[in-house]
Amino acid sequence: MSTIHTVLPLIVVLPLLGAFSSPILDLISRKLKEAWILAISAGTLGVTGYVFYYVFKNGPLLYTMGATNPFGHANFPIRIVWEIDMFNALMALTVAFVSLMAIIYSVEYMKRDTGLEKYYPLILILELGMLGIVVTGDLFNFYVFLEIMSIASYALVAFRNDTWEGIEAGVKYMMVGALASSFILLGIALLYGQYGTLTMAYIAYKMAGHMTTTAKVALALLMAGLLFKSGSVPVHMWLADAHPAAPSSVSAMLSGLVIKAGGIYILARILFSIYGPSINVRTVGWIVIIFACLTLIVGNAMAVVQTDMKRLLAYSSVGQMGYILLGVGIGLAAYGSNVGNLALAGAIYHTVNHALMKALLFLIAGAVIHALGTRNLNDLSGIAKTMPVTSFAFIIGAAAIIGMPPLNGFASKWILYESSALFNPVIGAIAIIGTAFCTAAYVRVIYTFFGRPNSLTMKAKDPGKSMLIPIIILTVAIIVMGLFPWTINKDFMLPAAKALVNQMGYIHTLFAGGV
Amino acid sequence: MIPFQYITSFLLIFIGVYALIYKRNLIKLILALDIIDSGVNLLLISEGYRIAGNLPGTAPIYTGYETLKGVPMVGPLPQALVLTAIVIGVSVTALAVSLAINAYRHYGSLDIRKMRRLRG
Amino acid sequence: MFGYWDALYFIFIFIVSFLLALALDKWAKKSGMGTKEKGEATKVFISGEDPEKEIKGFEHLEGYYTGRNVMWGLTYGLKRVFVVLQREHTGLLTDYVSYLVITTAFIMAVLLIWG
């Protein structure tokens, strides 16, 4: 057992400890509890940072629950394993970072709310579920973490249960989400019945050359469930209802992380690492591309006509998920080629970027709501005069999400345009039309912010420290990530994409198991 | 021949999905989710069931197993999975029922056709 | 392999063009007939809308102007699309469920035929 095997379980243990100890500390003192929660989430960030560094230096990592190797006395893996390569490690780092920002933010943002002894455990459980999903290498373990994450997010969407909006959005999200989870469980059950194992890498090993109809049906169920969780277009409607209804700090986590860790990440993992070349990659890739094109057109277009600021941001999330899905689809349809790898790298890059940008934008929306009590765009004109820092951060975030050159959004979007144009020019054109809609939507908000102030906005002022610090950190992160796009792409994103495509490597990591 | 447990479980799932699409009472929808869960759990548990010859399987935690060679043992893994899935299903149901109570407070009705203020 | 770009170039170009614009402004002010620093000429004038103009009967809208109408041409041109998209977002739970079932059926059919 080396250090990394001792440290790695803390990824899940720390948030769990924090979640269930915070109500006890709340009885003693509120300040103490807040400090404890911040320490816990900062510690989680430290652990994920260490894991990321280790994986970056030493290559993929295998961890077996409660033992030294996954085999025991059998000749096939019977234990629950965690498999971490570049892709997982990057996602885990993003999740921990944005969660920390959201938690710092909620110290001040949620001050006026009641029920905080339930809020902080739920938000830590949400983080725990996402971290669990991104590190696990076992299908049923994944399902358990997915449900932990989903239940926490249903509860957080309906957290303000004195408003009709939260309850209605919560009911809709929960009912359809539970059905999607059942579909995912059904897919896992079918896969287990067919191959007799739940370890992802071992399923991949057994599936090579033994593709059956059952496995295809299972893939269809898994894909539909995960497309729902990632908010793809015909099944995006819950997202537009649920994300605005949650408190803004939670919206930032839902839009920035939950739809990625619980949707895109695991979808890519199942498509590439489990199914991979065993199935007809062109067909599956084109299915994903069709959904991606629908998503990025409809999501961005619907953002243009919204009058509610948070709803606009939620629809924009749908649109940006389209780009990520597009990268995954092209990566699958052009499996193993340079174009495919580049598209996949762009998708991973955009996942990280969008997590930062959308978290920033939702935190700003929260600051505006906190100061003015409204989120109707028609009432917000002229905020730039009274909330200069917030408005500046919003311009940076909006420019990044549109894809203005010196910021990080441009780098990832450029890679996606380039690879989609090389793959099929029509798809490249569709991607650019989506960006046109996206620009239109954000230009409306910026115009509003810089309009002439009305009597309401004259009274607003910039939020306090605890809300401003995460906003500033995220803004700086966006600017800094935009300064070194080529280095980041070459050193982190392309290796992550290659680790994802390398199915043999994933299987090999399992069989080379042990410490 | 397809074992009847499989057919039953898929029938349960279809009943649940039918009810989710065509029923309007929130409580009935929650019951539909439970029925779907039961269907999936039945499928999982029947996958672990093994019959060798005419002998039915024994429960996996059976201490006399070592002395009774030749008696098939049912797979322990699906049973563990189903236990977990049942626990998850219970917590989802509990949350759904509490949301239904809150929804009744705000809308004065459990009819989901009345709960459609979020549009467009 | 693919195209190359560096964000530092953009910042460099931005700084250079900013300095150029500043120099041009200075030069124009010096060599021109004098700039109006007060009055009508300093008003912000966006998309043909005069913020201080008063229209009889519409005083309740006066006082601020927003981004509401900025993308008017786009929304008007694609009105039909938006109406259809907004109509499809019915807010009915059963519709959401049926979309999920339709998606599943579509993916399953495609995978079983061409998978």
pLDDT tens sequence across A113-140: 888 888 999 999 999 999 999 999 899 8
Q: What pLDDT does A381 receive?
A: 79
Q: Evaluate if residue C65 carries a pLDDT over 70.
A: no
**How does the average pLDDT of chain B come out, rounded?**
83
Per DSSP, the three-state class of A63 is strand
pTM listed for this prediction: 0.90
**In chain C, what residues touch B119 (CB-CB under 8 Å)?**
86, 89-91
Q: What pLDDT does A515 receive?
A: 46
- Angle of helix A139-157 relative to helix A164-195, nearest 10 degrees, comes to 170
Q: What pLDDT does B64 receive?
A: 53
Q: What pLDDT does C1 receive?
A: 47
Q: Is residue B120 part of a domain?
A: no
Q: What pLDDT does B4 receive?
A: 83
Average pLDDT over residues A356-365: 92
Q: What pLDDT does C6 receive?
A: 61
**In chain A, what residues touch C96 (CB-CB under 8 Å)?**
172, 175-176, 235, 237-238
Q: What angle do CA A255, B21, C84 make, to 5 degrees?
A: 60
At residue A143 the predicted structure's pLDDT band, cuts being 50, 70 and 90, is very high
Contact check, Cβ <8 Å, A179/B26: no
Domain map (residue ranges) of chain A: 280-483
Q: What angle do CA A76, A80, A84 make, to 5 degrees?
A: 100
Contact check, Cβ <8 Å, A179/B33: yes
- Per-residue pLDDT tens over the stretch A184-202: 999 999 999 888 888 888 9
Average pLDDT over residues A251-264: 91
Give the percent of chain A with pLDDT over 90: 46
Most trustworthy range by pLDDT among A66-70, A72-76, A103-107, C9-13: A103-107
Return d(Cα A250, Cα A256) in angstroms, integer: 10
Q: Which is more confidently placed, A288 or C10? A: A288
Q: Is residue B119 part of a domain?
A: no
Return d(Cα A492, Cα A479) in angstroms, integer: 18
Q: Which is more confidently placed, A107 or C62? A: A107
Contact check, Cβ <8 Å, A446/C67: yes
Task: For an interface test with C, give the residue of A176, A396, A420, A481 to mutate (most C CBs within 10 A).
Answer: A176
Q: Is residue B14 part of a domain?
A: yes
Average pLDDT over residues A89-108: 92
**In chain B, what residues touch C90 (CB-CB under 8 Å)?**
116, 119
B87 touches chain A (CB under 8 A): no
Return d(Cα A475, Cα A469) in angstroms, integer: 10
DSSP A285-333: HHHHHHHHHHHHHHHHHHHHT--BHHHHHHHHHHHHHHHHHHHHHHHHH
B29 touches chain C (CB under 8 A): yes
DSSP A466-477: HHHHHHHHHHHH
Q: How many alpha carbons lie under 13 Å from residue A233 in its C-beta half-sphere? A: 26
Q: What pLDDT does C55 receive?
A: 63
Q: What pLDDT does C63 receive?
A: 47
Q: Which residue of B has its CA nearest to C83?
A: B120
Q: Is residue B39 part of a domain?
A: yes
Q: What pLDDT does C67 receive?
A: 63
Most trustworthy range by pLDDT among A366-380, A474-488, B26-40: B26-40
Average pLDDT over residues A486-511: 86
| Residue A319 vs residues A163, A291, A312, A429: alpha-carbon distances, Å | 27, 11, 11, 15
The nearest CA of chain C is from the CA of B100 a distance in Å of: 13
Q: What pLDDT does B16 receive?
A: 93
Query: What ipTM describes this predicted complex?
Result: 0.92
Q: Evaluate if residue B66 carries a pLDDT over 70.
A: no
Return d(Cα A216, Cα A223) in angstroms, integer: 10
Specify the DSSP element, H or E, that contains A81: strand A81-84
Q: What domain count does chain B have?
A: 1
Asked whether the CA dihedral A24, A26, A29, A31 is positive or negative, the reply is positive
Q: Evaluate if residue B52 carries a pLDDT over 90.
A: no
Q: Evaluate if residue B71 carries a pLDDT over 80.
A: no
Could you tell me the residue range of the domain that residue B58 belongs to? 4-114
C86 touches chain B (CB under 8 A): yes
At residue A379 the predicted structure's pLDDT band, cuts being 50, 70 and 90, is confident
- Read off the CATH number of the domain in which B81 is found: 1.10.287.3510
Q: What pLDDT does B72 receive?
A: 66
Per DSSP, the three-state class of A219 is helix
Q: What pLDDT does A97 receive?
A: 94
